Copies of this chain bind each other. A is one copy, B any other.
Amino acid sequence: MSASERPSEDSLIARFFAPIAGEGALGLKDDAACLTPKPGHDLVLTTDALVERVHFLPEDAPGSIARKALGVNVSDLAAKGAEPAGFLLSLALPDGWTEGWLADFAAGLGEASRDFVCPLLGGDTVKARGPLTLSVTAVGQVPTSRMVQRTTAQVGDLICVTGTIGDGALGLKLRSAPAWSEVLSPDERAHLADRYLHPQPRHRLAAALRNHVSAAMDVSDGLAGDLAKMMKASGVTAIVEADQVPLSAAAARAIQESPDLLDLALTGGDDYEILCTVPEKSLDRFRQEADSIGIPLSVIGRVVSGDGRPVFRMNGLERRYDVGSYQHF
């Protein structure tokens, strides 16, 4: 399609984005969205950018890219105990984008928006001579002063994670068809691939996090590094029992075949699970609430005093991950 045949930004918005927009978006006909905050609530705001070949691959389905861009932001809100209120999308389209691609992208975005109960409020679409780049800003709400922070872990608290760890990193690795992938069943391979492509933000856990945990963040850059960040921000450190870190059947089998993959599971990114610290007396009620909405919870260690990097105990040895968190630079 030549440039002169390209539709205007207004017509793209009307065709693809207005149908998935929320009430505050005013039909995407204005310069801005309007959101009436719930009385007695704070706003929680987060933004995450995704770039082709860094956060997703060019061959990924447009709907999957859209879902991931929204999911990683909703995951941040969830970790802060916030209920999603809406999001804005900035989209820099590369040369050669097609209307078919954009239609699939918008359809995936709309579906994710419904699944995560997070309506589209506004956005901006520009053309760039470069890789596809997306930026989502998500807005959530928490009762006043109840945002869950990452600086407030206390010595003695238990360290918990939701779901399973390492699947996303293994799912990405799987794409280069490593030898270990041959021992996995097709279902196991599909499970790992899906965890990389389609993060499942734990937004339904927001209220339980507000009620029971002392600190939380989402695991996006690898468990070891993100735990180190949270402990450092709280002025404490941690001891983790590596064999308590929850693994999916697929991840466990991959690690059994190739034991070095345990490091990848513990330090790789793209988990989008919740990492939190829980006072011991609150654990039972926290677990009950998580159980009641079907979110698995594992205790993997304990907060201790000190300022070094967290210790991972495994097979009688103690291990500290020097660079445990994915570095973008």
Contacts and interface: CB of A to CB of B under 8 A. Distances in A.
Nearest to A7: B329
A129 interface: yes
A122 interface: yes
Nearest to A91: B49
A329 B127 contact: yes
Contact of A47 (B55, B88, B131, B142): B88
A39 interface: yes
A7 B327 CA distance: 9
Interface string A46-57: 111111011100
Interface in A114-159: 121-131, 133, 135, 137, 139-140, 142, 144, 147, 149-151
B133 A130 contact: yes
Contacts of A318: none
Contact of A45 (B94, B122, B229): B122
A45 B33 contact: yes
Given A34-B44, A47-B122, A12 B329 contact: yes
A31 interface: yes
Contacts of A29: 150-151, 233
Interface in A76-128: 76-77, 79-80, 82, 86, 88-92, 94, 121-128
B54 A128 contact: yes
Contact of A327 (B8, B39, B42): B8
A290 B79 CA distance: 45
A260 to B, nearest CB: 22
Contact of A123 (B47, B88, B90): B47
Contact of A135 (B41, B44, B124): B124
A26 interface: yes
Nearest to A47: B88
A94 B130 CA distance: 10
A106 B178 CA distance: 43
Nearest to A327: B8
Contact of A329 (B9, B133, B144): B9
A328 B122 contact: no
Interface in A301-329: 327-329
7 contacts: A26-B149, A31-B46, A34-B42, A49-B91, A49-B92, A130-B133, A133-B133
